Amino acid sequence: MASLTGEQLKDTYDSLLKVDDNGSLGGTYKEITDGLGNGSGLYLGTGGNVGIGVSPDSVLHIKDDTSTVYDATALQQDLIIERKNTSGNGQSAHIRFVTTGYEGQTTGEASIGAVQTSNASSADLVFTTRNSGTRAERMRIDSSGNVSITTGNLILDSGAGIDFSDTANSSGTMTSELLDDYEEGTWTPSFSGASYVFTNQSGTYTKIGRKVFVRCKFEITTVGTKISNITFSGLPFTASNSIASGHFIGVVRETETNGAMFVAQVTANSSEGGVNSMDGVTSGDNHIFTTDTYSMAVTYEV
């Protein structure tokens, strides 16, 4: 091997890489150049940071000063991670994120990867996380743009929702295209009527956007004054005040004897309503409530 005593590498081997005229890295970042002083755009620092096209502000910092207008159909080339796989579908390349906490005793992981599908020119984008030591795919955007959440739920902030503004509108006057709520639960209705005794009062509800669908059952065990209207309260949400008639309409059916039908109505701007006979009779023997079990279904807006 040739002796380099008293000489710098660049004086003998011009094509060799060096760091800023063979100076030490010191406390500043140094650019790797060749023996002739031609810059490479690759920067190193004693702290382990690496910069490509820039003096790094982090462990890895990449910068390209070229101005590029986004084109979804073009080949994106800012950063390429490529793996040469064998033939067949299911081949993949991933970026893995790892954090070790709790004094190095546990490791959190997440990854983003491209998975080649059966078509050699197609790939899905997959997102994985590690939960209590188990790694699993959580979400996938397939090559056609369909999004699948494999496990877990899509959680939105209160007031946020799914915006359908890109869809065609009806011939009416559109006021909102944001689906911003969904909820399921139970509610306990409280029925009352003159000298009547009500038991086994229970119900369920589903809220989709502004629409609330409620169902309930109740039993009349004692009949007092023969009336064909009763009231109820305890709805899970207060009804809107926007309806012109002042009521939202539903039905009640007697379920065990003759199947008599009644009209249920929710009073606007309240959480209560009433049940009346179909023919509007308010007293007497026509369509009165009897000792029996009843089922009610009402839809209203909030």
CA gap 136, 110 in Å, rounded: 9
Give the per-residue pLDDT at 21. Answer: 44
CA gap 3, 54 in Å, rounded: 35
CA gap 107, 17 in Å, rounded: 38
Return the CATH class of domain 184-301.
Answer: mainly beta
203: number of Cβ within 10 Å: 22
Which three-class secondary structure state does DSSP give residue 12?
Answer: helix
Give the per-residue pLDDT at 151. Answer: 85
pTM over 0.75: no
* Phi–psi pair at 12, nearest 5 degrees: -110, -40
Give the per-residue pLDDT at 163. Answer: 86
Give the per-residue pLDDT at 22. Answer: 41
Kindly state the DSSP code that residue 75 receives in the 8-state scheme. P
Give the per-residue pLDDT at 285. Answer: 52
- Residue ranges of domains in the chain: 9-62, 92-149, 184-301
Question: Which residues make Cβ contacts (< 8 Å) with residue 47, sequence separation at least 6?
Answer: none
Beta-strand ranges (E) seen in 156-196 are 162-163, 178-179, 182-187, 190-192
Which three-class secondary structure state does DSSP give residue 4?
Answer: coil
What is the token pair recorded at 287? 């369509």
- Torsion angle defined by CA atoms of residues 289, 291, 292 and 296, in that order, rounded to the nearest 10 degrees: 40
CA gap 205, 266 in Å, rounded: 14
CA gap 7, 76 in Å, rounded: 45
- What is the pLDDT tens value at each position of the chain, 302 positions in all? 455 455 454 455 555 555 554 444 445 677 777 666 777 777 777 677 888 888 787 888 888 888 888 888 888 888 888 887 766 778 888 999 888 876 667 788 899 999 988 766 889 999 999 998 899 999 999 999 999 998 888 888 888 888 888 777 777 777 788 888 999 999 999 999 888 899 999 999 999 999 999 999 999 999 877 777 899 999 999 999 876 556 788 999 998 767 888 999 999 999 999 998 876 655 555 557 888 999 999 999 99
Query: How is the beta sheet containing 92-101 ordered, strand by strand?
Result: 92-101, 106-116, 123-131, 134-141, 147-149
Give the per-residue pLDDT at 243. Answer: 67
Beta bridge pairs of residue 112: 95, 127
Give the per-residue pLDDT at 104. Answer: 66
